């Protein structure tokens, strides 16, 4: 079987449920998909769904024990993906054993044993998720460096000559590395999503002690109304970590990461302003369009 996305109806159906979950969680990414070449859209969606599962397992559960169990399970699973024998429908559908899965397995195992002490400041919080962000970024860079012809299953045939990523380099995945900016954007994404779903007051919270001290609050107050100014300040600090990467369409990264960084910057600023809305569709379309216009430097 050619490498790429596998095409059994059973695997498609099982993977589709996870893709639907991701689209419900990150509806703005539907506007990024519009600008993805058709042969790459299933790869784009599978990747988004996988990121959602890894993010949830490593950073979004409310108790350390389930986090440890899920991280270790996923660490084993991605090693099986490297051997072309994964059990999870998303990894079976992706079917690309040549990607650098080992780095992610190691990073997930590290998250399973991560210290639960709250970081001191933003730099320490970013460092806490850096191994996971770096491993995911390396996978992402390799995945989207593969030529579109490796995707054979669910994508409808179409010309891709006008799309920014229609013709991509065919470097061996193991030789492709993610840019520093892409890794930083991914680390901010991981921290920002944890904040947005309200996990900062739980064990292993990553909102820094410096912010708690500034507001004179304990971590127990973060889930209360009086914790809102602290959460808003954290969103502002995370948005600041992305500000040096703007405009996001100039990132040396794939379309998926450029768009996700653009969306994250807007959502974090909105959170910091106390609005915490779903992104308006026209705004999402404009951000995706801007990010799709810029080709990756070669």
pLDDT in tens, 39-61: 999 999 999 999 999 999 999 98
pLDDT at 2 > cutoff 90: no
Would 160 be classed as within a structural domain? no
Would 259 be classed as within a structural domain? yes
Quickly state the pLDDT bin for 296 (edges 50, 70, 90): very low
d(CA 250, CA 174): 24
Would 244 be classed as within a structural domain? yes
CA distances to 68, 93, 249 from 206, rounded to whole Å, are 16, 33, 28
- What is the pLDDT, as a whole number, of residue 72? 97
**pLDDT, mean over the chain:** 84
Quickly state the pLDDT bin for 168 (edges 50, 70, 90): very low
| Residues with Cβ within 8 Å of residue 24, at least 6 apart in sequence | none
pLDDT in tens, 76-90: 999 999 998 999 999
Residue of 201, 206, 196, 207 lying closest to 224 (CA atoms): 201
Would 60 be classed as within a structural domain? yes
Would 163 be classed as within a structural domain? no
pLDDT at 189 > cutoff 90: yes
Would 53 be classed as within a structural domain? yes
- What is the pLDDT, as a whole number, of residue 246? 60
> Could you identify the residue written with the tokens 């079976």?
92
Residues of the chain with pLDDT > 70, as a percent, come to 81
- What is the pLDDT, as a whole number, of residue 75? 97
The helix or strand, by DSSP H or E, that contains position 270, with its residue range, turns out to be helix 255-272
Quickly state the pLDDT bin for 176 (edges 50, 70, 90): low
Residue 210 sits in a domain whose CATH number is 1.10.600.10
Mean pLDDT of 148-171: 36
pLDDT in tens, 123-154: 999 999 999 999 999 999 999 987 655 543 33
d(CA 209, CA 219): 9
pLDDT at 13 > cutoff 90: no
d(CA 267, CA 284): 10
Would 13 be classed as within a structural domain? yes
Structural domain including 44 reads 9-155+168-293
Burial class (CB in 10 A: 0-12, 13-18, 19+), 161: exposed
How many domains does the chain fold into?
1
Beta-carbon count within 10 A of 149 CB: 11
d(CA 243, CA 81): 35
Burial class (CB in 10 A: 0-12, 13-18, 19+), 153: middle
- Whether the Cβ atoms of residue 145 and residue 298 lie closer than 8 Å to each other: no
């Amino acid at each position: 079987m050619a490498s790429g996305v596998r095409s059994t109806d059973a695997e498609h159906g099982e993977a589709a449920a996870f893709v639907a979950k991701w689209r419900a969680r990150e509806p703005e990414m539907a506007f990024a998909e519009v600008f993805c070449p058709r042969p790459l859209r299933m790869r784009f969606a599978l990747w988004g769904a996988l990121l959602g599962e890894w993010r949830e397992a490593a950073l979004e559960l409310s108790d350390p024990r389930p986090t440890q169990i899920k991280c270790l399970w996923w660490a084993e699973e991605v090693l099986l993906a490297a051997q072309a024998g994964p059990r999870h429908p998303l990894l079976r559908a992706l079917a690309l054993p040549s990607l650098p899965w080992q780095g992610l397995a190691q990073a997930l195992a590290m998250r399973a044993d991560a210290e639960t002490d709250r970081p001191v400041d933003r730099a320490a919080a970013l460092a806490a998720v850096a191994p996971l962000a770096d491993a995911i970024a390396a996978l992402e860079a390799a995945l989207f460096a593969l030529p579109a012809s490796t995707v054979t299953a669910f994508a409808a045939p179409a010309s891709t000559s006008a799309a920014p990523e229609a013709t991509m380099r065919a470097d061996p995945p193991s030789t492709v590395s993610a840019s520093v900016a892409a890794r930083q954007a991914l680390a901010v994404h991981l921290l920002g999503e944890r904040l947005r779903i309200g996990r900062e007051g739980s064990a292993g919270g990553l909102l820094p002690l410096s912010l708690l001290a500034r507001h004179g609050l304990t971590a127990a107050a973060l889930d209360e109304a009086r914790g809102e100014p602290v959460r808003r300040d954290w969103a502002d600090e995370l948005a600041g970590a992305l500000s040096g990467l703007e405009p996001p369409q100039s990132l040396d990264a794939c379309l998926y990461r450029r768009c996700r960084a653009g969306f994250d910057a807007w959502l974090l600023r909105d959170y910091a302003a106390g609005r915490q809305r779903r992104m308006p569709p026209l705004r999402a379309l404009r951000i995706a369009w801007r990010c799709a216009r810029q080709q990756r430097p070669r």
